Homo-oligomer: A and B are copies of this chain.
């Protein structure tokens, strides 16, 4: 699966293994569907490399930490695009 324009620093499954979250040096956090093997959603906002991203245990949120010195929370529940 393609999707980032820079090295990827972290990849993690959500609890039921149906989604992946990736964090990369292109400042993006991305969500992937495992079953369909395709890109679902991109979270833009970080101003620098993203080093770490993780789903909450209920898979409704993603938290990320970046070289831009911010911790961000993203709402996954809207899914799709």
Q: List, in ascending order, chain B residues with CB within 8 A of A71's CB.
A: 1, 3-4, 8, 11, 20, 22, 30, 32
Report copies per complex.
4
Q: Say yes or no: A11-B63 contact (C-beta < 8 A), given A16-B57, A17-B56, A17-B58.
A: yes
* CB atoms of A17 and B61 under 8 A apart: yes
Count contacts on A: residues with CB < 8 A to the other chain.
Answer: 46
Contacts A/B (CB < 8 Å), 13 sampled: A1-B72, A3-B70, A7-B51, A7-B67, A8-B52, A8-B70, A9-B51, A9-B65, A16-B57, A32-B71, A34-B56, A34-B61, A37-B73
Question: Considering the chains assembled together, what is the distance between the CA atoms of A1 and B58 in angstroms?
Answer: 21
